[in-house]
Amino acid sequence: MASSPFQSDAMEDPPDPITPHAAPIVDAEGHLTYIGDDGRRYVVALPPEADGDSVERVMANLRQGDALFQQIQDLCDLWIAKVSGSELERQAALSLLLTTLEVALDPDAGQL
């Protein structure tokens, strides 16, 4: 799945990924959306070949993951609170956590 901001399609290079600021939600129009760390709303787009049934399965899976996502968010908040302070600002701790998670979860993230 890819996410795309509400921007012109005239961009040559795809933008850098935007970190979600909050858990994704289904908006009033039925789109899966999230607010990025840049404050803008993003819509998660499925591949064009996705049919209605596969979209519904994806949405059901995401809804089933809500409680687990909340647990992950709570653990991340605890970690940030524990490591941040006068020596490490909260925003720097968040950046460190996200970078570490990206490398840990994406086997290709550490390769140049």
Binning pLDDT at 50, 70 and 90, where does residue 104 land?
confident
Measured at the CA of 6, the angle between CA 40 and CA 69, to 5 degrees, comes to 50
**Residue 78 pLDDT > 90:** yes
Q: Which residue has the tokens 């959306």?
A: 33
Q: What does the DSSP 8-state code read for residue 52?
A: H
Please report the pLDDT score of residue 84 as a whole number. 93
Every domain of the chain and the residues it spans: 2-64, 67-105
Of 38, 45, 35, the closest CA to residue 9 belongs to 45
Model confidence pLDDT, tens digit, residues 36-59? 777 788 777 766 676 777 777 877
Q: What is the dihedral of CA 72, 76, 79, 85, to 10 degrees?
A: -160
Over the stretch 1-36, which tens digit does the pLDDT of each residue have? Answer: 444 444 444 445 555 666 666 677 777 777 778 787
